[in-house]
């Protein structure tokens, strides 16, 4: 299998906890009042507690839908500001619906509130902290959410930046846990661009003992600093980071074959060049067969059907894409309850 030089690491450090089940056990560390800008802001134990809370909330939601069972409203009287400078379907609806289901309220602020142009990030933060209990920000530069968090006295949650998409990664790995149980030694093969979604998956997967692979054209690799941080998080687990330029080899034996759009928001001028570069990196039925009969397909959406993934895979029996999408709701509800102290 061809790999990029120096990019493969089988991290294991003596003296560190080696059982992923053990480090996923809930801990006493509180998330109340904390920002969530990166997957690396959490410990493995805190991720475990979030996943347990998400599973409880999902079961409660199923009982509500199927039997009309009453639900708890731990965030009654709380308000979430949703500051979005990028279009959104899943992030907006899941956070807004989640707050409503938890008894709170969400206020959606469109890209008309342009931080740094109409008002400075500092001034936006100073205003919102007087009005609401938390902020979800979906922006371009990661530095915007960092500054927003530094200036606001209320918790700030990263709803997407060019560097990371941490809420997406939480939902994805929660979906893997539902499907496979123990995460230790599982293999997630990402096919495509080393982008913000890959960054967050690499960080979270490494923390939890998952082997995270990436098949990508040489010029579309991940941020080296993210790779270094993921390797550090993987010390003491069974995690590995594997890179290569042959999708068939990268997916062989994988539990999950993951892809994302080749052209993200803000990259529209690169569309044609990216189509050429990624032409060999389409997830189709043949690539899923190469992964193995038990492999499942994931996509964070929105998808360009026929480009990075075929409709046959998306809508086929090996797809868990819609489970991923649903789990955004449950995992983010868990995050809101933990952060707002409900």
Catalytic residues: 138, 165, 168, 260, 300, 328
Is 281:309 a contact under the CB 8 Å cutoff? no
Residue identified by tokens 């500092």 is 122
**Buried/exposed code over 229-238 (b: 16+ C-beta within 10 A; e: otherwise):** bbbebbebbb
- Which positions ≥6 away from 56 have C-beta within 8 Å? none
**Among 298, 332, 323, which Cα is nearest to 138's?**
332
Measured CA to CA, the distance from residue 39 to residue 59 in angstroms comes to 25
Phi-psi region of 116 (alpha: psi -120 to 50; beta: other; left: phi over 0): left
Helix (H, G, I), strand (E, B) or coil at 277: helix
HSE-CB of 206 using CA atoms within 13 angstroms = 27
Per the structure block, which two tokens stand in for 147? 């500054």
End-to-end CA separation in angstroms for the chain: 49
Is 27:49 a contact under the CB 8 Å cutoff? yes
Measured CA to CA, the distance from residue 9 to residue 155 in angstroms comes to 35
**Buried/exposed code over 192-210 (b: 16+ C-beta within 10 A; e: otherwise):** bbbbbbbbbbbbbbbbbbb
Is 39:203 a contact under the CB 8 Å cutoff? yes
């Amino acid at each position: 299998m061809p790999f990029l030089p120096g990019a493969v690491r089988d991290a294991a450090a003596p003296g560190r906890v080696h059982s992923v089940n053990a480090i996923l056990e809930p801990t006493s560390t509180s998330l109340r009042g904390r920002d969530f800008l990166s997957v690396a802001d959490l410990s493995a134990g805190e991720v475990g507690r979030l996943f347990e809370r998400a599973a409880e909330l999902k079961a409660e939601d199923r009982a509500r839908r199927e039997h009309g069972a009453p639900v708890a409203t731990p965030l009654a009287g709380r308000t979430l500001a949703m500051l979005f400078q990028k279009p959104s379907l899943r992030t907006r609806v899941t956070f807004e619906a989640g707050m409503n289901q938890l008894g709170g309220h969400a206020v959606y602020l469109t890209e008309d509130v342009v931080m740094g142009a109409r008002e400075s990030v500092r001034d936006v933060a100073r205003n919102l902290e007087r009005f609401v209990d938390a902020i979800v920000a979906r922006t371009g530069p990661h530095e915007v959410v960092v500054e927003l968090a530094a200036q606001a006295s209320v918790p700030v949650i990263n709803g997407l930046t060019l560097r990371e998409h941490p809420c997406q990664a939480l939902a994805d790995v929660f979906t893997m846990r539902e499907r496979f149980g123990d995460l230790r030694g599982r293999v997630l093969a990402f096919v495509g661009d080393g982008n913000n979604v890959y960054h967050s998956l690499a960080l979270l997967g490494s923390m939890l003992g998952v082997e995270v692979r990436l098949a990508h054209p040489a010029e579309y690799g991940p941020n080296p600093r993210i790779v270094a941080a993921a390797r550090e998080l993987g010390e003491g687990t069974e995690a590995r980071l594997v890179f290569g330029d042959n999708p068939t080899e990268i997916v062989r034996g994988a539990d999950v074959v993951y892809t994302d759009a080749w052209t993200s928001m803000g990259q529209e001028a690169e569309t044609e060049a990216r189509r050429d570069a990624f032409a060999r990196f389409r997830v189709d039925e043949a690539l899923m067969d190469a992964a193995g009969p038990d492999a499942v397909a994931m996509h964070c959406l929105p998808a360009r059907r026929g480009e990075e993934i075929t409709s046959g895979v998306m809508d086929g029996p090996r797809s868990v894409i819609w489970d991923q999408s649903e789990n955004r709701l449950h995992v983010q509800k868990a995050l809101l309850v933990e952060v707002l102290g409900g």
